[in-house]
Amino acid sequence: MSTDSSLTLISAVRTFGGWLKRYKHQSRTLNCEMIFAIYLPPQAETASVPLLWWLSGLTCNDENFSQKAGAHRVAAELGMAIICPDTSPRGSDFPGEHDSYDFGSGAGFYVNATREPWSKHYRMYDYINEELPQLVRAHFPLNGRESISGHSMGGHGALVLALRNPGRFASVSAFAPIVHPGQCPWGEKAFSGYLGDDRESWKAYDACELIAKDTAKQPLLVDQGEADNFLVEQLKPELLEQVCREHNYPLTLRRQPGYDHSYYFIATFIEEHLRYHAEHLFKV
């Protein structure tokens, strides 16, 4: 296992007075080279700043959010860094790894796979939860305050990361998250493939299951478009509402009429999420 923690800069682009920087590094958790992007606001040139984790959805990589969410303007105003990891290991080329948009490359589901051959590389939970935080804290002017958000598969990832690590994040939000992967086709396909058929093992990566056992009661902010094509079959926000109601869990679920699953939906509401996270990140 390599202990190399060096970063190689791929590109640096000026945006809203700050810098969007893409880096590659050798991941010891994933056993492959990974790319991530980090937005450093203007304030990061002279001070340490808080960090928002953004976890992307199926088929995305580190670039989609930066290009399409329109988040840099508000991040620059607030003085907030944003890190965008990739959504899966890359380059292992297992049989079938690139055949589906919803399993394998671009679809790591933020779990630690236990089934061969995926277990050798597909350990995105540990990568996002341990290796990448250590790496970015060592290399960038961050003040240790962190929040998390994400979209769809990445909304699932954000909820799971926050629920499993109470106190780690100042705040958590999600756009159109997969709230109950154990009870939707995307989740069942991915968890069967990465974790096997023992559904008990799936519960550690299922927001609805975690909420039912959680005592930390972190407030959850969730936006869901009502014209989302995946609403009924995959996303099922009513299951999140139900478990939160049953366990008196603080949920703000906003159903947005007419909005779909695209980045236009995210762009419309990202400012409200960033300001919500800033309220918690900058709280003394």
Residues forming contacts to a second copy in the complex (CB under 8 A) are: 13-17, 20, 67-68, 70, 72-73, 225, 227, 258-260, 262-265, 267-268, 271
Spatial strand order in the sheet of 18-27: 8-15, 18-27, 32-40, 81-85, 49-55, 142-150, 172-175, 220-225, 251-256
Query: CB neighbours of 281 closer than 8 A, spacing ≥ 6?
Result: 50, 52, 80, 145, 146, 147, 170, 171
Give the C-alpha distances (Å, rounded to integers) separating 27 from 24, 30, 89, 118. 9, 5, 9, 15
Q: Minimum distance between the CB of residue 258 and a second copy, rounded to whole angstroms?
A: 4
Give the C-alpha distances (Å, rounded to integers) separating 263 from 150, 210, 222. 11, 28, 15
Residue (53 or 259) nearer to a second copy, CB:
259
Residue (180 or 261) nearer to a second copy, CB:
261
Q: Minimum distance between the CB of residue 254 and a second copy, rounded to whole angstroms?
A: 14
Residue (16 or 94) nearer to a second copy, CB:
16
Residue (165 or 229) nearer to a second copy, CB:
229
Strand intervals (E) in 62-208 = 81-85, 142-150, 172-175
Look up residue 279 and give its two tokens: 């309220």
| Contact yes or no for 242/248 (Cβ under 8 A) | no
Q: Minimum distance between the CB of residue 257 and a second copy, rounded to whole angstroms?
A: 8
Which residue type sits at 94? F
Catalytic residue set: 152, 228, 261
Residue (127 or 265) nearer to a second copy, CB:
265
